[in-house]
């Protein structure tokens, strides 16, 4: 039996008040997480590629941190390192001062495509981590119902994932991630595939859950406004190799409406910083066809718009 | 009609079906396990992988002489032929199905604390189930073919032997009746098992209108 299974077991048996009883809001508080001089490289056909170079990051317990940056800046890699799904090539990833040496239910993850199990109903999906933790059927049912109510999906408990909309699937995935009452919630671009309206709804939902549970949240996104709306702190990441550029504290009262001018102001500031990084990649990927933003007109002489008629 | 009246046909069907079920069940269980091992372990893949792909191209009837040499004219010989015919395609299909399981599902399960056999049986195999099912269907037809081939060749008391008897005594009606029976056996598997599983997969995955 792995130490994770044991940990899960002790969560289920030893720490009963975390799950059962009517006063369920007494959830496990968040833990602090830190990366110390973490580098991560992976093998490609052309040899090793450095995904993250010497990153230092400390996340306080109960803090909401957004990792923002262009593709290839190692945002998701950092999340996977904290989850324990990847091990750093050098450096250390710590949770409450102790090294993380593998995945476990104390650090739950929400993926971009929800990753609900298609063969299970929504209820069974949410109960799956509880089953792993060795919880009895009755308790599982009660906890599952509670979670589904929390994300307003109780009516759809017996639906299969394919019968739900993208937003509903994502809410289901959040419920599943919260099932074992994790200390850290890792969200990997959870709303990137959703339409704008649904995304706003879910942002409000995540903010509410965060304020209720006070878990540590690490949230990866491309969307600067989303980050400014949700985060206590934004960590800006750059590319080639992936590294941390800047750390911005968003000191605004919650809840934050998206149309608040201070949100817009912060977002514009952060977006400006990212643009240089985005440009850098766009130039590499698109070669000379890339036109810098600001100059919106394509000036390609081969694009002859009927001049020779 | 004499075969029906005397109960020969019924007995032959019973004998063949029992054989088929034994050999097929064994093939499914071990074929799936072998397939999972192929997909999940690089060591297994690089050692026995090419061998299995190669062997699966051998028509199952070709195993019969060897089986008879090893086991004599016995039940074991026929079972060997059935298993060699059905297990390999099931293993190859399972291998492919497991490789196509979205890695995200496995990662999600790992963050929830699943590992080892638990991960395998609660996530990997269910996620690969639609692919395993098509392998199992393929395995059924292979098992049925191998069984008939095996039974044709010696006194086995099954449908295959009755077919041979029909030829010996020039009884075309008997031969046709047995062919119809074999078709019915194929359909029965669809009706009793595979059709239901297919519908269930469609209902859950939303891949077909249930």
Yes or no: say if A209 and A174 are a contact pair by the CB < 8 Å rule.
Answer: yes
Q: How far apart are CA A58 and CA A95, in angstroms?
A: 10
Average pLDDT, chain B: 85
ipTM entry = 0.77
Helix (H, G, I), strand (E, B) or coil at A273: helix
DSSP state of A28: P
Residue whose entry in the numeric block shows the structure tokens 């091992």 = B37
> Across the interface, which of A84, A160, A176 has its CB nearest the CB of B204?
A160
Mean pLDDT of A1-16: 43
Q: How far apart are CA B170 and CA B166, in angstroms?
A: 6
A165-199, pLDDT tens digit by residue? 888 888 888 888 888 888 888 898 888 877 888 88
A25-68, pLDDT tens digit by residue? 456 777 778 777 777 878 777 777 777 777 778 888 888 888 88
Tell me whether residues B113 and A128 touch, CB distance under 8 A. no
* Confidence class for position A300, pLDDT limits 50, 70, 90: low
User: Which of residues 176 through 235 in chain A touch B, CB cutoff 8 A?
Assistant: 176, 180, 186
Model-wide pTM > 0.80: no
Domains of chain B: 2-205 (1.10.3720.10)
Task: Kindly state the helix (H) or strand (E) to which residue A48 belongs, with its residue range.
Answer: strand A47-59
Lowest average pLDDT, out of A47-61, B15-29, B173-187, goes to A47-61
CA nearest neighbour of A258 among A218, A227, A219, A235: A227
Structure token digits, residue B104: 């995200």
Most confidently modeled range among A16-20, A184-188, A234-238, B44-48: A184-188
Yes or no: say if B34 and B52 are a contact pair by the CB < 8 Å rule.
Answer: yes
Tell me whether residues B129 and A180 touch, CB distance under 8 A. no
DSSP state of A226: H
CA nearest neighbour of B155 among B68, B49, B55, B42: B68
Lowest average pLDDT, out of A139-153, A224-238, A267-281, B144-158, goes to A267-281
Give A94's strand partners: A34, A99
- What residues of chain B lie within 8 A of the CB of A129, using their CB? 112-113
Q: How far apart are CA B50 and CA B44, in angstroms?
A: 10
A13-27, pLDDT tens digit by residue? 434 334 433 334 456
Within 10 angstroms of residue A165's Cβ, the number of other Cβ atoms is 12
Cβ neighbours of residue A170 closer than 8 Å, sequence gap 6 or more = A110, A114, A190, A191, A194, A202
User: Which of residues 162 through 181 in chain A touch B, CB cutoff 8 A?
Assistant: 162-163, 176, 180
* Confidence class for position B76, pLDDT limits 50, 70, 90: confident
pLDDT of residue B3: 59
A81-111, pLDDT tens digit by residue? 888 888 787 777 777 777 788 787 788 888 8
Yes or no: say if B76 and B156 are a contact pair by the CB < 8 Å rule.
Answer: no
DSSP string across chain B: -HHHHTTHHHHHHHHHHHHHHHHHHHHHHHHHHHHHHHHH-HHHHHHHHHHHHHHTTS-GGGGHHHHHHHH-SSHHHHHHHHHHHHHHHHHHHHHHHHHTS-HHHHHHHHHTT--HHHHIIIIIHHHHHHHHHHHHHHHHHHHHHHHHHHHHHS--SSHHHHHHHHHHTT-HHHHHHHHHHHHHHHHHHIIIIIHHHHHHHHHHH--S--
Structure token digits, residue A88: 């750093």
Question: Is pLDDT at B70 greater than 60 in this prediction?
Answer: yes
Yes or no: say if A291 and A249 are a contact pair by the CB < 8 Å rule.
Answer: no
Structure token digits, residue B80: 């060997």
B interface residues, A as partner, C-beta within 8 Å: 102, 104-105, 107-116, 118, 122-123, 126-127, 129, 203-206
A244-297, pLDDT tens digit by residue? 777 877 777 777 776 777 777 777 877 777 777 666 666 666 655 655 555 555
Structure token digits, residue A20: 């059962």
pLDDT of residue B175: 87
A108 touches chain B (CB under 8 A): yes
Exposed (0-12), middle (13-18) or buried (19+): which is A102, by Cβ within 10 Å? middle
Q: Select the more confidently predicted residue: B74 or B21.
A: B21
Q: How far apart are CA B202 and CA B76, in angstroms?
A: 38
Q: How far apart are CA B71 and CA B86, in angstroms?
A: 19
* Confidence class for position A236, pLDDT limits 50, 70, 90: confident
- What residues of chain B lie within 8 A of the CB of A133, using their CB? 113
Most confidently modeled range among A192-206, A239-253, B24-38, B155-169: B24-38
**Geometric angle at alpha carbon A129, from B106 and A149, rounded to 5°:** 120
pLDDT of residue B30: 93
Question: Is pLDDT at A162 greater than 60 in this prediction?
Answer: yes
Q: Which residues of A23-55 are buried (b: 16+ CB within 10 A; e: fewer)?
A: ebeebbebbbbbbbebbbbeeeeeeeebbbbeb
* Confidence class for position B25, pLDDT limits 50, 70, 90: very high
> A164: nearest CA in chain B?
B206
> B114: nearest CA in chain A?
A132
B50-61, pLDDT tens digit by residue? 888 888 788 888
Question: Is pLDDT at B153 greater than 70 in this prediction?
Answer: yes
Domains of chain A: 3-289 (3.40.50.300)
Tell me whether residues B113 and A129 touch, CB distance under 8 A. yes
Tell me whether residues B206 and A180 touch, CB distance under 8 A. no
Yes or no: say if A251 and A219 are a contact pair by the CB < 8 Å rule.
Answer: no
Yes or no: say if B64 and B81 are a contact pair by the CB < 8 Å rule.
Answer: yes
Tell me whether residues B111 and A115 touch, CB distance under 8 A. no
Helix (H, G, I), strand (E, B) or coil at A135: coil
CA nearest neighbour of B131 among B46, B39, B58: B39
Structure token digits, residue B110: 């790992």
Question: Is pLDDT at A69 greater than 50 in this prediction?
Answer: yes
Question: Is pLDDT at A154 greater than 50 in this prediction?
Answer: yes
Question: Is pLDDT at B177 greater than 60 in this prediction?
Answer: yes
DSSP state of A242: B
pLDDT of residue B178: 86
- What residues of chain A lie within 8 A of the CB of B120, using their CB? none
pLDDT of residue A4: 47
Can you say whether the dihedral through the CA atoms of A117, A120, A122, A124 is positive or negative? negative
Tell me whether residues A119 and B126 touch, CB distance under 8 A. yes
């Amino acid at each position: 039996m792995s130490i994770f299974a044991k940990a899960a077991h002790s969560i289920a048996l030893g720490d009963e008040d975390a799950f059962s009883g009517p006063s369920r809001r007494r959830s496990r508080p968040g833990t602090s997480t830190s990366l110390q001089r973490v580098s991560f490289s992976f093998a490609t056909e052309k040899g090793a590629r450095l995904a993250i170079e010497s990153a230092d990051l400390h996340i306080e317990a109960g803090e909401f941190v957004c990792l923002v940056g262009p593709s290839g800046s190692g945002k998701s890699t950092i999340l996977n390192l904290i989850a324990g799904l990847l091990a750093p090539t050098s450096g250390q990833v710590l949770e409450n001062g102790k090294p993380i040496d593998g995945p476990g239910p104390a650090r739950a993850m929400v993926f971009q495509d929800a990753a609900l199990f298609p063969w299970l109903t929504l209820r069974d999906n949410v109960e799956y981590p509880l089953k792993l933790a060795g919880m009895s059927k009755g308790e599982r049912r009660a906890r599952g119902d509670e979670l589904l109510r929390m994300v307003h999906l109780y009516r759809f408990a017996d639906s299969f994932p394919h019968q739900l909309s993208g937003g509903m699937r994502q809410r289901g995935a959040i419920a599943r991630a919260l099932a074992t009452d994790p200390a850290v919630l890792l969200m990997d671009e959870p709303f990137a595939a959703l339409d704008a309206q649904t995304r706003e709804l879910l942002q409000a939902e995540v903010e509410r859950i965060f304020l209720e549970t006070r878990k540590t949240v690490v949230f990866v996104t491309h969307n600067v406004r989303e980050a400014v709306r949700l985060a206590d702190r934004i960590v800006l990441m750059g590319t080639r190799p992936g590294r941390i550029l800047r750390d911005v504290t968003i000191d605004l009262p919650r809840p934050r409406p998206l149309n608040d001018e201070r949100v817009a102001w912060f977002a514009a500031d952060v977006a400006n910083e990212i643009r240089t990084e985005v440009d850098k990649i766009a130039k590499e990927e698109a070669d000379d066809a890339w036109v810098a933003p600001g100059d919106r007109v394509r000036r390609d002489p081969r694009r002859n718009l009927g001049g020779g008629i | 009609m004499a075969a029906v009246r005397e109960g020969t046909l019924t007995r032959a069907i019973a004998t063949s079906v029992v054989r088929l079920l034994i050999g097929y069940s064994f093939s499914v269980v071990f074929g799936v396990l072998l397939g999972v091992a192929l997909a999940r372990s690089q060591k297994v893949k690089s050692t026995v992988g090419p061998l299995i792909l190669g062997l699966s191209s051998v028509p199952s009837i070709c195993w019969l002489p060897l089986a008879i040499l090893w086991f004599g004219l016995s039940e074991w010989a026929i079972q060997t032929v059935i298993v060699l015919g059905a297990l390999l395609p099931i293993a190859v299909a399972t291998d492919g199905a497991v490789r196509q399981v979205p890695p995200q599902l496995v990662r999600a399960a790992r963050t929830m604390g699943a590992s080892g056999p638990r991960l395998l049986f609660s996530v990997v195999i269910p996620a690969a189930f639609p692919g395993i099912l098509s392998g199992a269907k393929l395995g059924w037809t292979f098992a049925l073919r191998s069984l008939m081939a095996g039974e044709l060749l010696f006194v086995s008391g099954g449908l295959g032997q009755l077919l041979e008897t029909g030829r010996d005594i020039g009884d075309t009606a008997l031969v046709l009746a047995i062919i119809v029976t074999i078709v019915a056996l194929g359909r029965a598997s669809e009706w009793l098992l595979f059709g239901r599983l297919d519908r269930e997969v469609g209902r859950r995955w939303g891949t077909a209108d249930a």
